[in-house]
């Protein structure tokens, strides 16, 4: 299963799709990118005259790439065109270090901690183009076919 096939199986669409490409894929981890569009809906009013990407959106970006895309890859043998995965975020713990501004391209690196009984737990990190750590944490989700 390649990057485009994984992205096509995601249960998201614009304006709530936060995956542009996947650059590394294995059963142990995944790496992908997303560029935050300057005119994204969530920048209006966050913050007045100084927009930054909300932490909940950064968490969602890391969950989509780091948990959902990885989960789809791990379960690829059980998927079909009629059998799309259903995903539920079960927990997240994040630490934020630097702001992400409109127009920035970020890279998400996810490492599988455990996958058991269709629950995937991952260590995730988000970097900017200067390879500075913007945020990191642990995200868990349930995948159901």
Residue-level pLDDT, tens digit, the chain, 145 residues: 899 999 999 989 999 999 999 999 999 999 999 999 999 999 998 898 899 999 999 999 999 999 999 999 999 888 766 667 788 888 999 999 999 999 999 999 999 999 999 999 999 999 999 999 999 999 999 988 7
Other C-beta atoms closer than 10 Å to the C-beta of 55 total 13
What is the C-alpha separation between 27 and 129, in angstroms, rounded?
25
Is residue 138 within 8 Å of 113, Cβ to Cβ? yes
Q: SS3 of 98, please?
A: coil
pLDDT of residue 45: 86
What is the C-alpha separation between 87 and 73, in angstroms, rounded?
13
Is residue 22 within 8 Å of 7, Cβ to Cβ? yes
Phi/psi for 135 (5° steps) reads -160, 165
pLDDT of residue 123: 98
Residue 25's beta-bridge partner residues?
A: 30
Among 46, 55, 78, 97, the one annotated catalytic: 46
- The CATH number of residue 15's host domain is 3.10.129.10
- Decide if 46 is catalytic: yes
By residue range, what is the domain housing residue 138?
3-144
User: How many structural domains are present in the chain?
Assistant: 1
pLDDT of residue 62: 98
Q: Enter the pTM of the model.
A: 0.94
What is the C-alpha separation between 141 and 72, in angstroms, rounded?
12
């Amino acid at each position: 299963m390649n990057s485009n096939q994984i992205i096509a199986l995601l249960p998201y669409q614009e304006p709530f799709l936060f995956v542009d490409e996947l650059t590394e894929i294995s059963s142990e981890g995944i790496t992908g990118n997303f560029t935050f569009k300057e005119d994204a809906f969530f920048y209006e009013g966050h913050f007045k005259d100084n927009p930054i990407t909300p932490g909940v959106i950064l968490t969602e970006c890391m969950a989509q790439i780091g948990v959902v895309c990885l989960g789809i890859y791990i379960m690829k043998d059980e998927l079909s065109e009629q059998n799309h995965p259903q995903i539920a975020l079960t927990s997240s713990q994040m630490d934020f270090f630097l702001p992400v501004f409109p127009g920035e391209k970020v890279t998400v690196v996810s490492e599988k901690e455990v996958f058991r009984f269709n629950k995937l737990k991952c260590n995730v990190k988000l970097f900017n183009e200067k390879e500075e750590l913007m945020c990191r944490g642990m995200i868990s989700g349930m995948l159901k076919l």
